[in-house]
Amino acid sequence: MRIGIIICDRYRTCGGGKCLRSMRERAGAFDRYPKDEPLELVGYSTCDGCPGGNIEYVPEEMIKNGAQAIHLATGMVVGYPPCPHLTYFKTFIEERYGVPVVVGTHPIPEKYRRVHQGLDSLPVLEAAPSLMATAEIRRTYD
């Protein structure tokens, strides 16, 4: 399976460690892929900042490199604030490019879950249950 990852531009200097670790461990949103199925990252880019200029073009490049699915990174879900365009990005990419879009990558760190528990972002977290993982796993992503 070949995937692309789009991250929030606020985290453009992120080295991708948590995303790559969760991809390797099949944790968080990567738990949908069988452990015996190879995963290959074929693209990693930012959205280009609000309102997401790269969303129009980056998926095409990822697909040319073989992407069969695109993940919108967990930072878009638990950023400060969460991405206000997340639902639109998912719908746009799926409609325009015909590839599935998965919300999230790595499990949500426990420290972020505690903060977001009382905020308006909790429904977004509940909509992506694989990102919630277990408390033990969340703590390993702190």
CATH of the domain at 90: 3.40.50
Q: Which residue range is the domain that position 35 belongs to?
A: 2-140
DSSP state of 100: -
DSSP code per residue over 20-51: HHHHHHT-GGGGGS-TTS--EEEEEEE--STT
Structure confidence by residue, pLDDT tens digits, 97-137: 999 999 999 998 898 888 877 776 656 666 678 888 888 99
Give the predicted TM-score (pTM) of the model. 0.91
Number of domains in the chain: 1
